[in-house]
């Protein structure tokens, strides 16, 4: 049994792990928030209970909507699943060549966003359009930061292939603490917050008309559709936090260096799974704890936040050139 | 009979000759046949002309080359023809778009028998459409033939001849509906002015080269360009940038685009935007890079002329102009409410992206990294082909909407997804590609462009280290705004509920129009899943742009720079660990979607129920409550207000009772800031000059005799100098 088998197993296990774990991640984050605020909270399993309840309810389409409205939740979920397959979460041995490119991952993420915004417009309500408009604005302004961070991370590794980047960072641990890496980390965290609609860009708990972004867009969804929308959005948070975790704390991930044989491969993957769960859990808890102290900022202040992160990303790329030897 | 025997000994010659015959046949058919059969015959022959171009292009990309001196046909003019891989790319582009547009045109020009009338929108569709006239169909064939002549030209004279045929025929076509819409005349005037000024620049640029070389064929020009003086190089490069840039729709010479594209008949807009604009890029590549290559490339051993610094500066200028065009174009597109104007500005954006690739290629070639330059050139060429396919399709889709509703205004459209399902689905394909999202074809070329910029940083040098990240940021912001633009165009124009009676009564288009759109959608599909099929051809075309490569990079394997290689349907960069397998991404997405849908159906309750959307406590939602295209783009318009300068007008009309029946009237217009800032003052100055020049002609014969005498003296002095 070679490392390739590990990669194959990882490609199957990763989406299952992230699909199952993302609701738990949300549960952990809500519990942390509740504890910090002095509440008891619904427990870690509450998101799963919500999903089960919603999946059993009948889907309701707003009158006058088209296939776009019905297809959007499926596309959102599918895009999150594809990312869970192609990003090296458990193993750096890619089994699907030509898909683990960071630029491609970012683009697939955007496909999910676009599906939801089109569905928001398809409802023909003011809320749907409002949410779609705001979501697209944020997504468009985030894009330069995302791609520049990708650039900054790929310069030292000489590739934008995720497995190559992670392998390079594992083999040269110095790069992890380099200015490039830290600047890119901050930029990517801002991106993750904006892309997943967390505070201070969007408040996932609000249903106040004037401030909501994501919730306004999906207001018309019910039952099974809503379950998929929620699940897909939670998975987005899971896959992005997992990506950030593996890029900046890559230890624990399985790879070709683990040796051959079923025991070594299985052990490596198990270790990687545990490491991923711990990393993402800690990151999520941190995020939730910080969110308690933040208020949502005005929509028209969001571009300022994103411009700031763009500057950081640009500095990261420049630092990659000026502070590190380039072959 | 084996496939090899099917190909004639000189297939390119056969292709070019076939196109010439078809063009003449199409013109004859357009002029001779009666209105009833004209559309089918002329449209069909024009479509065949397009297919001929497509086949010729594919053959040229496959490695066939051909050249033929045509001297003496026109006295004293050298009309040499020459086809290489670079010509092949553009042959393919022109042919592909022309074939789709011609088939579409057959249905488009037919009197709209299946169309209802709403409030006098569509006198022009109900009667005999002027787009189906003799002049229009003959003009269409001449237009396509002129473009193909530009591409296959191997001498300055042939190039200029084709260029002017293309310019004149397209002007004629823009003016097609001048009786029906007064706005067409203004657009025609702008287009005529810009295209002829551009022609003068092109003519001047080639004239300087020809006078210097002493002959007109491209081979001589290329060989002689190495000895051009420094100031001559600057003049040639500057004139090329202005002449070809204005045709390409590059900012600030883009002002004709958002006027002419919306007013031309839609199948003509598709050809203009998909193919003709690309010939500006072709000119920049052929003259600016290929012909000037010997003089401008810094890699030459002698370092004569402008040498490395010149090539570097040329590349930087292209990069800056491309980045500016991309950003400005997409910012205007994101706030545009006229569907065809939006598409026109998006063309400026995409040409900007292509020029970013060209500029990066020149910069990298000047830095002595031809293998990286090849990647950038391939990215630019692939995006050229991709943009032709999706923008052609989108303009045809906009034409279907225009024909069915008489509307281009997104704020009044909507609800077409249930009324025009075929058009909507095809436009969705084009919009996905234009938004550069996977699995569209636009994503593939933007990925390649980003890769060339990321890996370009390895070329070294502080300039590169600053320019490449800035380029990536610009491409990224452009991509983000393109997503916003096409979500807006598709979401408000085709989804939701209709916002006007005309949109509510729309019906889908006739079969020939669907066939034309399907053709381009098929091209998008092929380009999206199998870009590798074009990779060897594009590598050949990039090699044309890197002629000195063999001399300077000894040791690079093979005789040409294989920048991008196909790998099992996907793309891979030679020597770099960058791979993209678009087919695999598509398969993964489809498999995941099918899995999710079936699991959700099995697990959850399958029955789906319709209910009213949430109306905030009100019972029924009126379409007036929907978000419009204007309101959708408002946040972005506010963020980029400094660049866009929207003019807003809010009038509150009070009545006797202050709290009742008060009317509020809001209007907004986003003009073109470049036009207001640069063109209006220039035109005003020209006007004033003209006014004051009247004083020169008071009607006195004595004064005129005096002028003649002074002119004679001046000529004599100048001659004897």
Residues of chain B neighbouring A103 (CB-CB closer than 8 A): 447, 450-451
* Phi and psi torsions of B442, nearest 5°: -60, -30
CB nearest to A78's CB, from B491, B596, B608: B596
What's the pLDDT score for residue B119? 40
Residues of chain A neighbouring B473 (CB-CB closer than 8 A): 144, 147-148, 310, 314
Nearest CA-CA partner of B539 in B573, B564, B504, B570: B564
Q: Which of residues 178-197 of A touch B (CB under 8 A)?
A: none
CA distance B501 to A64: 16
CA distance A40 to A204: 19
Provide mean pLDDT across the span A39-65. Answer: 91
Q: At what angle do helices B441-456 and A126-157 cross, to 10 degrees?
A: 40
Alpha carbon of A248: minimum distance to chain B alpha carbons (Å) = 21
pLDDT, chain A, mean: 88
Residues of chain B neighbouring A96 (CB-CB closer than 8 A): 581, 584, 588
Write out residues in chain B with pLDDT < 70, as ranges.
1-8, 72-76, 112-128, 294-309, 547-570, 574-577, 604-606, 619-620, 658-661
Q: Which residues, in sequence order, are bridge partners of residue B649?
A: B667
CB nearest to B469's CB, from A96, A136, A318: A318
In this complex, how many residue pairs, one in chain A and one in chain B, have their CB atoms less than 8 Å apart?
A: 274
- N residues, chain B: 721
DSSP state, residue B624: G
Alpha carbon of B576: minimum distance to chain A alpha carbons (Å) = 7
CA distance B375 to B318: 16
What's the pLDDT score for residue B124? 42
**Is A151 touching B (CB cutoff 8 A)?**
yes
Q: Which of residues 201-240 of A touch B (CB under 8 A)?
A: 219-220, 223-224, 227-228
* Partner-chain contact A60 B610, CB within 8 Å: yes
- Residues with Cβ within 8 Å of B412's Cβ and at least 6 positions away in sequence, in order, are B499, B500, B502, B503
Nearest CA-CA partner of A226 in A78, A61, A27, A45: A61
CB nearest to B603's CB, from A55, A64, A220: A55
Q: Are B596 and A74 in contact (CB under 8 A)?
A: yes
Task: Determine what percent of chain A is predicted with pLDDT higher than 70.
Answer: 95
Kind plus residue range of the DSSP H or E element containing A215: helix A214-217
CB nearest to B483's CB, from A81, A110, A124: A110
**Cis previous bond, B131, omega within 30:** no
What's the pLDDT score for residue B297? 45
- Report the chain A residue with the minimal C-alpha distance to residue B416: A66
**Is A135 touching B (CB cutoff 8 A)?**
no
CB nearest to B613's CB, from A63, A146, A321: A63
Alpha carbon of B564: minimum distance to chain A alpha carbons (Å) = 14
Residues of chain B neighbouring A159 (CB-CB closer than 8 A): 576-578
What's the pLDDT score for residue B561? 44
Alpha carbon of A38: minimum distance to chain B alpha carbons (Å) = 34
What's the pLDDT score for residue B522? 96
CB nearest to A75's CB, from B447, B469, B593: B593
CB nearest to B613's CB, from A77, A123, A146: A123
Using alpha carbons, list the distances in angstroms from residue B431 to B88, B164, B408, B438, B443. Answer: 26, 32, 16, 11, 12
For A25-29, A203-207, B689-693, which range has the lowest pLDDT when averaged over its residues? A203-207
- Report the chain A residue with the minimal C-alpha distance to residue B591: A78
pLDDT at A261 over 90: no
What's the pLDDT score for residue B75? 65
Q: Give the up-direction half-sphere exposure of residue B589: CA atoms within 13 A in the CB hemisphere.
A: 25
CA distance B159 to B206: 9
- Residues with Cβ within 8 Å of B682's Cβ and at least 6 positions away in sequence, in order, are none
- Report the chain B residue with the minimal C-alpha distance to residue A121: B491
CA B518 to chain centre: 20
Provide mean pLDDT across the span A219-226. Answer: 91
Nearest CA-CA partner of A107 in A132, A90, A135, A82: A82
């Amino acid at each position: 049994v070679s490392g390739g088998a590990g990669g194959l197993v990882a490609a199957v296990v990763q989406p299952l792990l992230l699909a199952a774990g993302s609701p738990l991640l949300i549960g952990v984050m809500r519990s942390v928030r509740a504890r910090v605020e002095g509440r008891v909270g619904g427990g870690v399993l509450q998101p799963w209970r919500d999903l089960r309840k919603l999946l059993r309810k009948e889907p309701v389409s707003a009158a006058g909507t088209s296939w776009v409205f019905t297809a959007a939740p499926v596309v959102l979920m599918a895009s999150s699943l594809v990312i869970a397959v192609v990003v090296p979460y458990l193993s750096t041995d890619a089994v699907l060549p030509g898909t683990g490119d960071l630029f491609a991952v970012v683009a697939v993420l955007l496909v999910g966003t676009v599906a939801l915004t089109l569905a928001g417009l398809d409802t023909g309500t003011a809320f749907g359009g409002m949410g779609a408009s705001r979501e697209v604005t944020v997504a468009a302004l985030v894009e330069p930061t995302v791609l520049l961070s990708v650039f900054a991370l790929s310069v030292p590794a000489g590739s934008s292939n995720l497995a190559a980047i992670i392998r390079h960072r594992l083999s040269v641990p110095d790069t992890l603490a380099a200015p490039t890496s830290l600047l890119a980390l901050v930029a990517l965290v801002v991106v993750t917050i904006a892309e997943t609609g967390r505070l201070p860009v969007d408040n996932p708990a609000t249903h106040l008309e004037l401030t909501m972004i994501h919730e306004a867009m999906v207001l018309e969804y019910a039952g099974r559709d809503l379950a998929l929308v929620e699940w897909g959005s939670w998975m987005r948070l899971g896959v992005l936090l997992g990506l950030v975790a593996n890029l900046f704390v890559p230890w624990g991930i399985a790879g070709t260096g683990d040796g051959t044989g079923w025991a070594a491969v299985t052990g490596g993957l198990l270790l990687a799974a545990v490491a991923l769960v711990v990393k993402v859990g800690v990151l999520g808890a941190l995020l939730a704890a910080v969110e308690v102290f933040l208020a949502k900022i005005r929509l028209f202040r969001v571009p300022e936040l994103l411009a700031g992160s763009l500057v950081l990303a640009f500095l990261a790329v420049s630092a990659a050139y000026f502070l590190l030897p380039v072959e | 009979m084996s496939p090899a025997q099917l190909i004639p000994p000189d297939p390119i010659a056969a292709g070019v000759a076939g196109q010439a015959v078809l063009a003449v046949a199409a013109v004859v058919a357009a002029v001779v046949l009666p209105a009833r059969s004209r559309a089918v015959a002329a449209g069909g022959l024009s479509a065949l002309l397009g297919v001929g171009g497509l086949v010729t292009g594919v053959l040229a990309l496959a490695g066939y080359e051909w050249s033929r001196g045509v001297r003496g046909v026109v006295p004293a003019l050298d009309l040499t023809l020459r086809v290489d891989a670079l010509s092949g790319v553009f042959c393919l582009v022109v042919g592909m778009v022309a074939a789709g547009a011609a088939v579409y045109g057959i249905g488009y020009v037919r009197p709209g028998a299946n169309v209802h009338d709403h409030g006098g929108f569509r006198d022009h569709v109900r009667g005999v459409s002027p787009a189906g006239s003799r002049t229009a169909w003959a003009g269409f064939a001449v237009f396509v033939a002129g473009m193909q002549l530009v591409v296959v030209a191997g001498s300055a004279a042939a190039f200029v001849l084709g260029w002017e045929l293309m310019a004149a025929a397209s002007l004629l076509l823009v003016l097609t509906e001048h009786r029906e819409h007064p706005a067409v005349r203004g657009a025609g005037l702008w287009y005529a002015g810009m295209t002829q000024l551009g022609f003068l620049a092109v003519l001047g640029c080639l004239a300087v080269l020809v006078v210097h070389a002493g002959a007109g064929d491209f081979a001589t020009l290329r060989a002689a360009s190495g000895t051009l003086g420094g100031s001559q190089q600057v003049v040639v490069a500057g004139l090329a940038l202005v002449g070809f840039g204005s045709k390409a729709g590059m900012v600030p010479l883009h002002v004709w685009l958002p006027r002419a594209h919306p007013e031309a008949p839609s199948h003509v807009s598709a050809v203009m935007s998909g193919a003709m604009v690309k010939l500006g890029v072709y000119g920049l590549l052929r003259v600016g890079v290929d012909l000037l290559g010997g003089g401008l490339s810094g890699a030459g051993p002698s370092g004569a002329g402008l040498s490395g610094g010149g090539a570097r500066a040329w590349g930087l200028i292209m990069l800056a102009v491309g980045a500016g065009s991309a950003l400005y174009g997409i910012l205007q597109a994101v706030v545009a409410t006229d569907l065809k104007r939006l598409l026109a500005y998006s063309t400026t954006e995409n040409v900007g992206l292509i020029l970013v690739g060209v500029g990066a290629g020149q910069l990298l070639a000047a830095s002595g990294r031809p293998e990286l330059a090849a990647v950038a050139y391939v990215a630019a060429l692939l995006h050229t082909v991709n943009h032709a396919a999706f923008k052609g399709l989108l303009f045809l889709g906009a034409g279907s909407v225009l024909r069915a509703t008489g509307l281009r205004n997104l704020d009044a459209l909507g609800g077409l997804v249930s009324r025009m399902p075929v058009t909507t689905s095809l436009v969705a394909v084009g919009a996905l590609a234009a938004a550069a999202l996977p699995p569209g074809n636009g994503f593939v070329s933007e990925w390649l462009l980003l890769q060339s910029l990321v890996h370009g940083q390895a070329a070294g040098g502080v300039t590169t280290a600053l320019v490449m990240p800035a380029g990536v940021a610009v491409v990224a912001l452009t991509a983000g705004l393109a997503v916003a633009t096409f979500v807006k165009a598709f979401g408000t124009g085709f989804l939701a509920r209709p916002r006007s009676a005309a949109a509510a009564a729309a019906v889908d288009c006739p079969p020939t129009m669907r066939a034309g759109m399907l053709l381009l959608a098929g091209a998008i599909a092929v380009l999206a899943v199998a870009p590798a099929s074009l990779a060897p051809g594009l590598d050949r075309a990039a090699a044309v742009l890197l002629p000195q490569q063999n001399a300077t990079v000894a040791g690079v394997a093979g005789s040409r720079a294989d920048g991008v290689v196909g790998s099992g349907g996907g793309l891979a960069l030679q020597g770099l660990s960058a791979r993209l397998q678009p087919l695999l991404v598509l398969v993964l997405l489809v498999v995941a979607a099918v899995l999710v849908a079936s699991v959700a159906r099995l697990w959850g309750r399958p029955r789906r129920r319709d209910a009213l959307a949430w109306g905030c406590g009100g019972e029924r939602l009126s379409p007036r409550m929907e978000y419009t295209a204007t309101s959708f783009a408002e946040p972005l318009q506010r963020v980029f207000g400094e660049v866009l300068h929207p003019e807003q007008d809010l009038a509150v009309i009070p009545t006797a009772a202050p709290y009742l029946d008060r009317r509020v009237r809001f209007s907004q217009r986003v003009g073109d800031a470049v036009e207001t800032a640069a063109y209006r003052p220039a035109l005003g100055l020209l006007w004033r000059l003209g006014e004051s020049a009247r004083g020169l002609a008071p009607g006195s014969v004595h004064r005129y005799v005096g002028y003649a005498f002074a002119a004679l003296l001046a000529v004599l002095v100048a001659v004897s100098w």
